[in-house]
Amino acid sequence: MNILITGATSGIGEQLAIKYARQGNTVIACGRNLEKLAELEKHTNIKACQFDATDLKDIKQAALGFSAFDKVILNAGNCEYVDDARNFDSALFERVISVDLLAMGYCLEALLPKISAGGQLVLVSSSVTYLPLPRSEAYGASKAGVSYLAKSLAIDLNDVDVTLVHPGFVKTPLTDKNDFPMPMAVTATEAADYMIKGINKRRKEVHFPYRFTLILKALRILPLPLWLRLAKGLAR
């Protein structure tokens, strides 16, 4: 099975690449970091594919060497937080939206036609989309867009299955920068295991860790004014 994974040079993407390769799949590991890609290529069954996911021409050029994929996992992303909403930073907002959402569109244009009939498309969003949270104006908006995108694609694509992933907190180099507690956080290895299990079952939604995401889903039944009061307390 040919599996393409974006954001494969660290965190969840790296673990997915290694685990799928160990299962005997041919993995096309994508990212910008040539040094990390070279390390990944030392693993049996992993091929490196270097491109910038925010550059459509770069993606299309890199994809020329591959004719078809059985699975495409769009995992690349970025996270920055808005520290002062009163003095909104539009440059930060643009950076996050560009990497987390617009890059998805570029990857879809370049890669979706190469997914074989009966194949699978996986979009990685975030459990932040379940509820509005402090400082998440940029990250939450970008991931909400990814979730809606995946759900709409699931309606319109007839010969490709779509799986939407909503991870909770995952310990990665990206989240190491977080300056707040991360309840029920899992390792990147554990996250990859959750994802592979759900992806292989072709679930429409994969969310984890279950206790954390189910709590967030349950809290969605609260009236919005009540949740906003609670969320303001979290921000203090």
Q: What is the pLDDT of residues 67-124, one digit of tens each?
A: 999 999 999 999 899 999 999 999 999 999 999 999 999 999 999 999 999 999 999 9
Q: How many CB atoms lie within 10 A of CB 166?
A: 22
Q: What would the two tokens of residue 29 be?
A: 């590991």
Q: What would the two tokens of residue 130 be?
A: 């379940």
Provide the number of structural domains found in the chain.
1
pTM of the model: 0.94
Domain hosting 168: range is 2-235
Provide the CATH number for the domain around residue 70.
3.40.50.720
Confidence band, pLDDT 50/70/90 cuts, at residue 145 = very high
As a whole number, the mean pLDDT across the chain is 94
Has residue 179 got a pLDDT over 80?
no
Has residue 236 got a pLDDT over 70?
no
Interior/surface letters 222-236, b for 16+ CB within 10 angstroms, e for the rest: eeeeebeeeeeeeee
Query: Three-state DSSP class for 47?
Result: strand
What pLDDT, on the 0 to 100 scale, is given for residue 180? 57
Averaged pLDDT, 33-57: 97
Q: Residues with Cβ < 8 Å from 184, sequence gap 6 or more? A: 168, 169, 209, 211, 212
Has residue 204 got a pLDDT over 70?
yes
Has residue 230 got a pLDDT over 80?
yes
Q: What burial class does residue 48 get, using C-beta atoms within 10 Å of its C-beta: 0-12 exposed, 13-18 middle, 19+ buried?
A: buried
What torsion do the CA atoms of 206, 212, 218, 219 make, to the nearest 10 degrees? -120
Length of the chain: 236
Has residue 177 got a pLDDT over 80?
no
